[in-house]
């Protein structure tokens, strides 16, 4: 099956599984979304959602957060991975938004990626979910599934993003990004994945399944 045909079938299956795609991170505006996405690195969305109510009580806008110290932020987000670095970035990000953007989150990739702690993936999520700009943020779930489904070679996230953008229509990128994440969490764990019972890997990942099984055998030997 050609990759384009496979991508079309996968998109149809994902639409049947997840016709609605609520944003997993709780937020009230573009600033709180930006902060929540920044905090989600190497941490589950569930854990982020547990700490952000108290964090956003300190500041739900860049102007408010710019008055909060990194130590105050750290005290709230300490349960998260990389908390000290994230606390410093949130404080610096808020101040930079106030100084350079009048407290507004810019709807621009370059401007977002220039903010402290904001990489391409975080900027892509904000552009897609806050501003509706077509983007295809690649997280660990999407990177893993793109390889398993034979849509990308799985070596670099940058290549995975380019491959997926080429295979799927632009108007579907923002929704597909969330659909693949939901599917990955429900059906495609990183470890102990049962290829035979997975609704998509079972037919789309035949070649990658052989590679994965060979890797497991090498680890055992």
Question: Which one has a higher pLDDT value, 92 or 144?
Answer: 92
Q: Say if 116 falls within a structural domain.
A: yes
Domain shared by 162 and 202, yes or no: yes
CATH of the domain at 171: 1.10.1670.10
Which of 131, 148, 173 delimits the end of a domain? 131
Which residue numbers are catalytic?
121, 139
Which of 131, 159, 191 delimits the end of a domain? 131
Domain shared by 34 and 125, yes or no: yes
119-138 confidence digits (pLDDT tens): 999 999 999 999 999 999 99
Query: What global pTM score does this model have?
Result: 0.90
Taking all residues of the chain, what is their mean pLDDT, rounded to a whole number?
A: 93
DSSP 72-93: HHHHHHTTSTTHHHHHHHHHHH
User: For residue 8, what pLDDT band results from cuts at 50, 70 and 90?
Assistant: very high
| pLDDT > 90? residue 220 | no
Domain shared by 49 and 123, yes or no: yes
State the CB neighbour count (10 A cutoff) for residue 108: 14
């Amino acid at each position: 099956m050609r990759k384009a045909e496979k991508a079309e079938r996968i998109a149809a299956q994902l639409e049947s599984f997840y016709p609605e795609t609520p944003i997993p991170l709780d937020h009230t505006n573009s600033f709180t979304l930006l902060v929540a996405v920044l905090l989600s690195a190497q941490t589950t969305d569930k854990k982020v959602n547990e700490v952000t109510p108290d964090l956003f009580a300190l500041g739900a806008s860049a102007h408010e957060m710019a008055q909060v110290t990194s130590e105050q932020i750290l005290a709230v987000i300490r349960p998260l991975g990389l908390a000290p670095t994230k606390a410093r970035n949130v404080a610096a990000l808020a101040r930079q938004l106030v100084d350079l953007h009048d407290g507004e989150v810019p709807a621009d990739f370059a401007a977002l990626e220039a903010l402290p702690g904001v990489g391409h993936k975080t900027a892509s999520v904000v552009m897609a979910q806050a501003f509706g700009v077509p983007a295809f943020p690649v997280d660990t779930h999407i990177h893993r599934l793109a390889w398993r489904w034979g849509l990308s070679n799985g070596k670099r996230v940058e290549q995975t993003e380019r491959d997926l953008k080429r295979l799927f229509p632009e108007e579907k990128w923002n929704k597909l990004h969330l659909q693949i994440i939901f599917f990955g969490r429900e059906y495609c764990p990183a470890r102990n994945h049962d290829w035979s019972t997975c609704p998509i890997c079972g037919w789309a990942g035949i070649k990658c399944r052989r590679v994965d099984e060979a890797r497991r055998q090498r680890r055992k030997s």
